[in-house]
Amino acid sequence: MTPAIDAHVRLDTHPTHPSAVQAVLTGTQAHIALVALEAANWSVAATNVLVLARIDHEEPHWADEAAQHLRAGGITVEITPRLQKAIDEGWSWPNYPMPWCTRSEIREVSQQAQKIHDDIRYGRLLIHAHDGHTTIAVGTYLDRGGKSVYLHGEDHLRQVADTFDSPAKALTAFEKVHTATMRPGPAPLTDTEHDAIAARSVFDVTTAKSEPSRPEPETVPIHLADTGDHDALLGTFVDAHGEFEKWRTWSDDTTHVILESQTLCIERVHETDPRETAWTVAAYETPVSDRMWHLTATGTTPAPILQTLLHHLAEGDTWDTAVGSPVNENTVTTATKPLTDAGWKHTVDGRWIRWTNPSRDAGIQFDAFAAQQHSSTLATWTIWAGPSIDHPTWSVTASPYTPSTLLADLTETLAHGTGTRHTRPAPTAHGSPSIQVAPALPTRGTGRIRG
């Protein structure tokens, strides 16, 4: 029997980058897990935080493989429900150029491409030249007896098309075919490669050390995380989901993202007070019907919370709900189960039920009266963080018929998720972080999405 090791690894989806995975390590022997993950090409992003970011979007699969190896070695591994869901769903490439390949064969092609990418990234494969108009390149391995290779394709489709005994022979053959378009060195990074670099850099302490004015990022509970780049988050979402169309208003202050069926609308207001409504999501039964439900988020909402929201919306009919479905006890239980499982306590105050975390700086409120008023501007659900619900640092509000599965995803992230923070609040007289008190937040949307 393998002896137990005092190391715990928590695997979760990356807070801001689709498909990437993060690992948070704890325990007196966490270094053992760290070494094992580094050997599997995970990148150290901060103290006991690693990121797996690939160019084939297969991170959930390889995270599952890593979990199995760690457990076999006596290390405790926790996989969050949303990552487990991504593992179970898998990834499929639309319009894959080799349709005859099975799923396992596609993964093998991607793995070979990933190895080429990693060899270039770590300096094991030196690229001499590329074709300026195509994805063809030539290079030499520095650790394989000087073998030179001819590369075709990019990202998850890059392959070794030919091999040569020496760089001179490889370059001669390359120049013969690509004389007019030959360019020195590697080709510019693709969007996918840029995304992988960004995912690995989110927690990059090296960058922070080179700028004395900026503190090193620290991993914190989601409700304390930095706001992040909301516009970049929305742009990444639209790029990854072709069924959504995006455009900005003539005044350039608002972006609308509409599902192709015109039954779901995301509105992002760019120029607004950080603590006022900056996001509004609205769902409709048909393109011409009234709103079934809507949800708003303030401009200070941490990016990982919005990432969870967008991930849920991208799942298609999972955000849908039957018109007229009343809020009942089962709805409330489903929406708040992650909080109950995490040990959050709840109190009843008249028409309000409130769940609060142990440090009492984050929570969720359910308004039983508002839940019965379909056309009311009152918020049925309010997720918040800060000094109190009346003076939150950020908040998310939702109407009566917001799907309980969506709310459960948000509360799961609130209860268990982690993010990064670059500024550490100064301690108060009691030794706890102080949070700037903000004005009370509005509970209604901007009015731009039809009601």
203 pLDDT higher than 60 = no
CA distance 229 to 303: 7
Give residue 281's pLDDT.
95
CA nearest to 149, candidates 180, 171, 134:
171
pLDDT for 132: 80
**pLDDT score of 19:** 85
The CA-based dihedral angle spanning residues 169, 170, 174, 175, taken in that order and rounded to the nearest 10 degrees: -40
Cβ pair 365, 348 in contact under 8 A: no
User: Domains (ranges, CATH) in the chain?
Assistant: 8-89 (3.30.70), 103-185 (no CATH), 219-421 (no CATH)
Give the least confident one: 268-282, 387-401, 423-437. Answer: 423-437
In terms of Cβ atoms closer than 10 Å to its own Cβ (0-12, 13-18, 19+), residue 324 is exposed
Determine phi and psi for 310, rounding to 5 degrees: -65, -40
Q: For residue 251, what pLDDT is reported?
A: 58
Alpha carbon distances (Å) from 176 to 131, 137, 173, 226, 258: 12, 13, 5, 53, 49
- In terms of average pLDDT, the best of 82-96, 186-200, 241-255, 391-405 is 391-405
Amino acid letter for position 348: V
Band of pLDDT at residue 107, cut at 50, 70 and 90:
confident
Alpha helix segments (H runs only) across 139-213: 167-178, 191-201, 205-210
Describe the strand order of the beta sheet including 277-284 as a list of residue ranges: 244-248, 254-259, 264-269, 277-284, 291-298, 394-398, 381-385, 362-367, 352-356, 345-349
**How many percent of the chain have pLDDT more than 90?**
47
**Residues ≥6 apart with Cβ < 8 Å to 356:** 344, 345, 346, 347, 362, 363
Mean pLDDT of 176-183: 88
Give the model's pLDDT for residue 209: 38
Handedness of CA 120, 122, 128, 132 (dihedral sign): positive
Q: What angle do CA 318, 300, 369 make, to 5 degrees?
A: 60
CA dist 264 → 236, 313, 398 (Å): 18, 9, 15
Say yes or no to pLDDT of 380 above 90: yes
Contact criterion met (CB below 8 Å) for 27 and 47: no
Kindly calculate the radius of gyration of the chain based on its CA atoms and give it in whole angstroms. Answer: 25
Whether 435 contacts 387, CB under 8 Å: yes
Instruction: Answer yes or no: is pLDDT of 262 > 60.
Output: yes
- Report the alpha-carbon distance of residue 443 to residue 440 in Å, rounded: 9
Least confident segment among 175-189, 274-288, 429-443 = 429-443
The band of 141, judged by pLDDT with boundaries at 50, 70 and 90, is very high
3-state secondary structure of 183: strand
Q: Which of the four pLDDT bands, split at 50, 70 and 90, describes residue 287?
A: confident
Q: Cβ distance 392 to 385 under 8 Å?
A: yes
Tell me the pLDDT of the chain averaged across its residues. Answer: 83
Res 169 pLDDT > 70: yes
The mean per-residue pLDDT over the stretch 140-168 comes to 89
Return the percentage of the chain with pLDDT > 70, whole number: 85
Based on DSSP, count helices (H) and strands (E) in the chain, helices before strands.
Answer: 12, 22
Mean pLDDT of 166-191: 88
More confident residue, 195 or 249: 195
Lowest mean pLDDT among 59-73, 180-194, 317-331: 317-331
Over residues 14-25, the mean pLDDT reads: 89
Which residues are CB-contacts of 364 (< 8 A; sequence separation ≥ 6)? 336, 339, 354, 355, 381, 382, 383, 384, 411, 414
Query: What's the average model confidence in pLDDT over 185-196?
Result: 86
Other beta carbons less than 10 A from residue 161's beta carbon = 12
Task: Return the DSSP state at 105.
Answer: H
Q: Residue 320: pLDDT above 70?
A: no
Q: How much is the pLDDT for 204? A: 44
d(CA 260, CA 242): 9
Backbone angles phi, psi at 238, to 5 degrees: -65, -40
Please work out, in degrees rounded to the nearest 5, the angle formed at the alpha carbon of residue 108 by the alpha carbons of 105 and 110: 115
Six token digits for residue 25: 């390590």
Mean pLDDT, residues 256-272: 90
Beta strands in 276-405 (DSSP E): 277-284, 291-298, 345-349, 352-356, 362-367, 381-385, 394-398
